[in-house]
Chains A and B, each alone.
Chain A
Amino acid sequence: MKWWLYIAFKQLFPSGKFASFFALVSILGVALGILGLYGTQSVMNGFHAQIGKKLRDTTGDIIIRDYGRPMYNLDGLRSKLKSVDGIKSVELMASGPVMMLVRNVPSFPLLRSFDTLSGECAIPIRENNFVKMGDIDMLDDDSIIIGQRLAANLGISVGDKVEVFSPTVLDRIKKDEVPMPVRLDVVGFLATDYSEADSSVALVSLRRMRELYNLGEGAHSVILRLEDGLDPTSFADKIRKDLKAKYSVSTWLTSNEGFLRVIKMEKVMMSLIIVLIIIVASFSICISLYTSVLRKTREIGLLGAMGARPGQIALMYCVQGFFIGVAGSLTGLALTWLILYFREPIVELVVGREALIEFYHFARLPVKYELGDAVSACGFAIALCTLAGLLPALRAAKLKISEAMRNE
Chain B
Amino acid sequence: MNNPTQPGILCAKSIKKSFRSPDGGSVEVLGGVDLEVPSGHSVSLVGESGAGKTTLLNILAGFELPDDGSVLWDGVRIDKFSNSQQARRRAGFMGFVFQNYCLVPELNAVENVELAARIAGKFGKSARERARELLDAVGLGGRMKHLPSQLSGGEKQRVAIARAIMNSPRIVLSDEPTGNLDEKTGESVMNMFFKLCSEREVALLLITHNPDFAARCDSTLHLSAGKISK
Chain A contact residues, CB within 8 Å of chain B: 3, 6-7, 10-11, 14-16, 20, 296, 298-299, 301-309, 400-402, 405-406
Contact call A10/B96, Cβ cutoff below 8 A: no
Cβ of B10 under 8 Å from chain A: no
Residue from the set B104, B145, B163 with the largest chain A CB neighbour count within 10 Å? B104
CB B110 to nearest CB in A, in angstroms, measures 9
Contact call A402/B119, Cβ cutoff below 8 A: no
In whole angstroms, how far apart are the Cα atoms of A401 and B83 in the complex?
Answer: 12
In whole angstroms, how far apart are the Cα atoms of A20 and B61 in the complex?
Answer: 34
A15: chain B residues at CB < 8 Å are 106-108, 111, 145, 147
In whole angstroms, how far apart are the Cα atoms of A304 and B84 in the complex?
Answer: 10
Residue from the set A10, A304, A405 with the largest chain B CB neighbour count within 10 Å? A405
Contact call B98/A307, Cβ cutoff below 8 A: no
Contact call B63/A402, Cβ cutoff below 8 A: yes
Cβ of B87 under 8 Å from chain A: yes
Cβ of B51 under 8 Å from chain A: no
In whole angstroms, how far apart are the Cα atoms of A402 and B98 in the complex?
Answer: 12
Cβ of B102 under 8 Å from chain A: yes
B106: chain A residues at CB < 8 Å are 7, 10-11, 14-15, 20
B104: chain A residues at CB < 8 Å are 7, 10, 299, 303
A296: chain B residues at CB < 8 Å are 105
Contact string against A for B residues 83-120, beta-carbon threshold 8 Å, 1 for contact and 0 otherwise? 11001101110101010101111111001000110111
Contact call A305/B63, Cβ cutoff below 8 A: yes
CB A408 to nearest CB in B, in angstroms, measures 10
Cβ of B218 under 8 Å from chain A: no
Nearest B residue (CB) for A310: B83
Ranked nearest first, the 6 interchain pairs of A and B with the lowest CB-CB distance are A307-B91, A3-B118, A14-B106, A302-B102, A402-B63, A402-B58
Give the contacting residue for A298; candidates B54, B90, B100, B116; CB below 8 A.
Answer: B100
Name A's interface SS: helix
Give the contacting residue for A301; candidates B88, B90, B102; CB below 8 A.
Answer: B102
- 5 more contacts with CB within 8 A, not counting A302-B96, A304-B63, A401-B61, are A7-B115, A298-B102, A299-B104, A401-B58, A402-B64
How many chain-B residues does the 8 Å CB contact rule pick out? Answer: 33
A303-B63 contact, Cβ under 8 Å, with A16-B145, A308-B87, A405-B98: no
In whole angstroms, how far apart are the Cα atoms of A59 and B133 in the complex?
Answer: 82
A309-B145 contact, Cβ under 8 Å, with A15-B107, A20-B106, A302-B102: no
A306-B96 contact, Cβ under 8 Å, with A3-B118, A3-B119, A10-B106: yes
Nearest A residue (CB) for B148: A299
Nearest B residue (CB) for A307: B91
Contact call A308/B119, Cβ cutoff below 8 A: yes
Contact call A303/B64, Cβ cutoff below 8 A: no
Interface residues of B in 40-90 (CB under 8 A from A): 54, 58, 61, 63-64, 83-84, 87-88, 90
Contact call B87/A6, Cβ cutoff below 8 A: no
Give the contacting residue for B119; candidates A20, A303, A400; CB below 8 A.
Answer: A303
Nearest A residue (CB) for B120: A307
A6-B118 contact, Cβ under 8 Å, with A15-B107, A15-B108, A307-B91: yes
In whole angstroms, how far apart are the Cα atoms of A10 and B104 in the complex?
Answer: 10
Contact call A304/B108, Cβ cutoff below 8 A: no
In whole angstroms, how far apart are the Cα atoms of A401 and B175 in the complex?
Answer: 14
In whole angstroms, how far apart are the Cα atoms of A299 and B98 in the complex?
Answer: 11
Residue from the set A10, A20, A400 with the largest chain B CB neighbour count within 10 Å? A10
A308: chain B residues at CB < 8 Å are 87, 119
B115: chain A residues at CB < 8 Å are 3, 7, 306
CB B96 to nearest CB in A, in angstroms, measures 5
Nearest A residue (CB) for B109: A15
Contact call B103/A14, Cβ cutoff below 8 A: no
Contact call A305/B61, Cβ cutoff below 8 A: yes
Contact string against A for B residues 156-173, beta-carbon threshold 8 Å, 1 for contact and 0 otherwise? 000000010000000000
In whole angstroms, how far apart are the Cα atoms of A308 and B58 in the complex?
Answer: 16
Nearest B residue (CB) for A11: B106
In whole angstroms, how far apart are the Cα atoms of A3 and B119 in the complex?
Answer: 6
A304: chain B residues at CB < 8 Å are 63, 87
In whole angstroms, how far apart are the Cα atoms of A337 and B88 in the complex?
Answer: 48
In whole angstroms, how far apart are the Cα atoms of A271 and B163 in the complex?
Answer: 51
Residue from the set B63, B92, B105 with the largest chain A CB neighbour count within 10 Å? B63
Nearest B residue (CB) for A401: B63
CB B84 to nearest CB in A, in angstroms, measures 5
Q: List 6 A-B contacts (CB under 8 A).
A: A3-B118, A7-B104, A7-B106, A15-B106, A306-B116, A401-B58
